[in-house]
Amino acid sequence: MRHRRPAAYVPHIAQLIQDLDRQQRPLPALERRTKPPKHPAETWPAAELQPFTQGKTRTHKTMILVLDLLARRPEHWHPVTGLAEALHLPLDKVVGALGGLTRVVKAHHDYHTLGLPIRRLIHREPGDAKQVLLSMGSEQARRWNAVRRGIPPQ
**Rg (alpha carbons) of the chain, rounded to whole number:** 24
Q: pLDDT tens for residues 75-93?
A: 999 999 999 999 999 999 9
pTM: 0.72
The yes-or-no verdict on residue 1 having pLDDT over 60 is no
Q: pLDDT tens for residues 90-103?
A: 999 999 999 998 88
Q: List, in order of start, the domains of the chain with CATH numbers.
A: 46-148 (1.10.10.10)
CB 54 within 8 Å of CB 149? no
